[in-house]
Structure 1
């Protein structure tokens, strides 16, 4: 039986339950603690042993008497009249691990937390809605925020003091000061701060009944100009300190270029992707990308690898390859997908959440980046005859920026013999497999899987690799089987069970993934399932303000709303995009109305600070102007158009029962099919009725390939689709080639 944690009296029935839950985990289970008894067994166990979240389980053997977030926990704090200490983090967070080892696995700290507080652990990846509230509180109070997020709460959940990582001595002093304030004359001051902070958070929420606004047509140029002001002209990216991929900015800029030809937007996207692909943020040996770098030249990563980064950088590289034809980008995207399929995929095809920044070094010590870095002699031994060239090409002969060794990176301004390099990198990857791998967070998150499903499906179309769509469909089937109950979606799959109500982002990201699968030829079923998710989201998260809430359940202050597009798109931005793209694939006006209503409700805040909502701006453009990618569905949903081979081939896929038509050339209402900006050679008469220049053209239930000889930077397609009963309105769509 485990020891009782310090400074508490544990109910015997609870103690028995916890011991039984611990025993049920079996011999393969390895408690994460340095507090061991004489037989090498963990001394303590707490309520987190009952949870499925890998992050919570990492703390299940701390001497801290942790609770999971729940209404019962808030009620206990109220009954005992104690403040709550809330620690928010995630399983692959380096500084979360540091604070755990320094403080939460320390008996002195545990005694104070257990005596004077109700200590609560929260996995931000399990409850993104609550994380949004408490990270906002820290940002408002401290001017910055991050994880671990350390928040002191009133028993009703209102925060009154916030911070992030605290070294142990500072943390002990803080616990003592807060306990004294709570028990002494400063209790009223604590109450006052909690009220003020709650009001500040509430002021950021939308007002019910606010009139919908409209986006200014100039807003897209405004955002491009703001990004140009932030742009690091020397190194790429949008920072001069730490560098995050900022995929939302890059995707916005590529959309801006495709629609307007804005050369500044294109250059910022190109320079940023060049830097990301060349830098140490790119895991050159194993494929994939780390979360961010601690320097501005992209060389020294913070080594955790998140599924959402693989998906979003992968998408950006696919679109960037179509924009520029840069083979280095296609190679990086394909190696990223290879990494996910090899190392981040569960037996049924769904995708794991992340890999840790930390791993064990050769001496068995936990160290950030130990799995990834190289000492020059280690690398040379793995590389053999090509060692000198490879060490130079990968920068492994340069002074390391990480104490444990050098990080492989390329010079973005130098050409690389990738055929030679890839053979070298495979030697490094195989040699690296002999090291202790970082801990993998094996929970499956619905929305993050949706992001990866979308990236794989889009890559399958762009690269002509249908097997990538097959992998995406396999993951989608696993998600649908595990997490959809016919009416609502669950957020997580962990320990062989579905956990927690899905957030808005889960519905939106998975819906967009399903749309991409449908577009990639995986079947009508995925379009139908995307619509089901969109219907459910519109029903579950609607608010009188016209906006969509992050979660069905309210937080401590009422409904919770996304504040911005950040490391991932906000759920509302992606929901607007989902509604808008569904409107292009359906003749149901409800999708246009839903997208317009949501974008109108967001427009006021977007207009004020547009840089915070690049994904919402892209969604607004999809609704107003249609899609801009080289692969797009045209309004009405019966024609898919794909521009291939740098504009030398156009494919038109026409739905069964529909055809292109050009009736009497004298009928101005019947425009038929026309192409400008390129000389066009339509297929022979067995696919089309002869000609198209001023003569009738009919294409029935076919995929038509039109050979082009581009004459301009923009090729414009104008056509009309008809069935045997109705003709849709004529549409015009333009493809920017260079």
Structure 2
């Protein structure tokens, strides 16, 4: 009897263990020291074959002890081209073997260490005339930069590593001299001459500066007359204030044209609210899809001020929708704010792709909107004007609502109801997709 009871108990235990479906633990081929970091950006690189280390005293001492050059690679979680270079180079075993053999490789989150970022941004600006992210710099063992740039294709990156390492082996003294000159240049960039004279802001040449600035105005599509186009909200805050204070209608028209085109464009999320980082084209259509907290905060202020001046309901709508986006997707349970949303998310194939969360095919839109599709098609240009890549569209407007109302013989109230319905349906639809990765850092300077 006891044996039967024991057998029954063992069977019950085994059945219980087998029926407990736990999530399998993901195994990684590589794990480096970044696994001990808290930054989402650094953790994204924790399973690269590159032997990445964080920026700390132990890492810096290791470079000195081993007399090795350092690779300082700086970026942030929402940086699309940082992810591209990771896929092409830092996940490649050949590249990793070279980096691990000859260099001490350091990953830095620029939002976590803006002080480190500023030093090497200045260095690359001096070296190349411009800088951005990803920022990749090679330094002497003591951290002084000798070479750098931004994004590199795999073959170009490997070639650069070979050349710099060879120069270090064959003529280290020359690199020492070069590093000293560059160091002095970086220090000089931060020097400010003390003005001991009386400050006379009344005679500051604002009009001359504005006249030069106006040469670059795009008076058809707004913003500056080039691509890519950044929103630069502080610039338009200044221009808006200048136009109002000086009763300059022409300047005010330019500012409102710019704000209209941005709000009409794909750089503004027509379905979920909020602004992407910048536009890759002149008409504000195709963005780099990452959404940064600080961009959206400044643009909410800009559109609020523009609404105070113009009472344009478009600006009020943009402010309300952007704040709804921030509350929905960028706010912690304690009421603080996250840092950013990535440009990339998983496609149906499981690959990370830029913008895939935000775009639609015509077939998807027809299926979700039914009889409303024809009106939606005109309102958001599901045509050659709004097409992006393949069969996908990035929503963009190019008509004021008054023209849509007249063309379709509907009331303003009916159009608003339809817009609310479209946004609800399409937001629910895209929320079934894999969402962009969230950088859940809460930074004091961005929240204060």
Pairwise same-fold verdict (TM > 0.5): yes
After superposition, the Cα gap between the structure-2 partners of 1:131 and 1:92, relative to the gap in structure 1 and judged at 3 Å, is same
Match of 2:167 among 178, 181, 184: 181
Matched with 2:179 is: 194
Q: Distance in 2 between matches of 1:198 and 1:400?
A: 48
Q: Please state how far the C-alpha of 1:61 moved relative to its aligned partner.
A: 1.1
Matched with 1:646 is: none
Q: Distance in 1 between matches of 2:322 and 2:151?
A: 31
Match of 1:226 among 212, 219, 223: 212
Matched with 1:279 is: 265
Q: Distance in 2 between matches of 1:53 and 1:332?
A: 31
Matched with 1:383 is: 369
Q: Please state how far the C-alpha of 1:224 moved relative to its aligned partner.
A: 2.5
State how 1:323-722 maps to structure 2 within 5 Å: 323-398=309-384, 400-403=387-390, 405-411=392-398, 415=402, 417-449=415-447, 510=448
State how 1:118-267 maps to structure 2 within 5 Å: 118-184=104-170, 186-207=171-192, 211=196, 214=199, 216=201, 217-267=203-253
After superposition, the Cα gap between the structure-2 partners of 1:366 and 1:347, relative to the gap in structure 1 and judged at 3 Å, is same
Question: Residue deviations 1:532-565, cap 9 Å, x none?
Answer: xxxxxxxxxxxxxxxxxxxxxxxxxxxxxxxxxx
Q: Distance in 2 between matches of 1:245 and 1:58?
A: 28
Matched residue of 1:230: which SS? coil
Q: Distance in 1 between matches of 2:97 and 2:383?
A: 49
After superposition, the Cα gap between the structure-2 partners of 1:262 and 1:360, relative to the gap in structure 1 and judged at 3 Å, is same
Q: Please state how far the C-alpha of 1:366 moved relative to its aligned partner.
A: 1.3
Q: Distance in 2 between matches of 1:122 and 1:182?
A: 24
Q: Structure 1 unaligned segments of length 5 or more: list them.
A: 1-26, 31-39, 450-509, 511-738
Q: Distance in 1 between matches of 2:48 and 2:162?
A: 20
Q: Distance in 1 between matches of 2:398 and 2:357?
A: 22
Q: Distance in 2 between matches of 1:49 and 1:55?
A: 11
Match of 1:50 among 36, 56, 71: 36
Q: Please state how far the C-alpha of 1:188 moved relative to its aligned partner.
A: 2.4
Q: Does the 8 Å CA contact 2:76/2:110 hold for their aligned counterparts?
A: yes
Q: Distance in 1 between matches of 2:373 and 2:183?
A: 59
Q: Distance in 1 between matches of 2:24 and 2:163?
A: 38
Match of 1:298 among 263, 274, 284: 284
Q: Distance in 2 between matches of 1:161 and 1:290?
A: 31
Q: Structure 2 unaligned segments of length 5 or more: list them.
A: 1-21, 405-414
Matched with 2:12 is: none
TM-score (norm 1): 0.54
Q: Distance in 1 between matches of 2:371 and 2:225?
A: 39
Larger RCO, structures 1/2 (Cα 8 Å, 6+ apart): 2
Q: Please state how far the C-alpha of 1:400 moved relative to its aligned partner.
A: 1.6
Q: Distance in 2 between matches of 1:286 and 1:251?
A: 25
Q: Distance in 2 between matches of 1:222 and 1:71?
A: 49
Q: Does the 8 Å CA contact 1:244/1:292 hold for their aligned counterparts?
A: yes
Matched residue of 1:41: which SS? coil
Q: Distance in 2 between matches of 1:130 and 1:256?
A: 36
Q: Distance in 1 between matches of 2:441 and 2:389?
A: 30
Q: Distance in 2 between matches of 1:248 and 1:28?
A: 48
Matched with 2:56 is: 70
Q: Distance in 2 between matches of 1:137 and 1:260?
A: 40
Q: Please state how far the C-alpha of 1:28 moved relative to its aligned partner.
A: 8.1
Q: Distance in 1 between matches of 2:427 and 2:276?
A: 16
Question: Residue deviations 1:333-359, cap 9 Å, x none?
Answer: 100000110111111111111111011
Matched residue of 1:145: which SS? coil
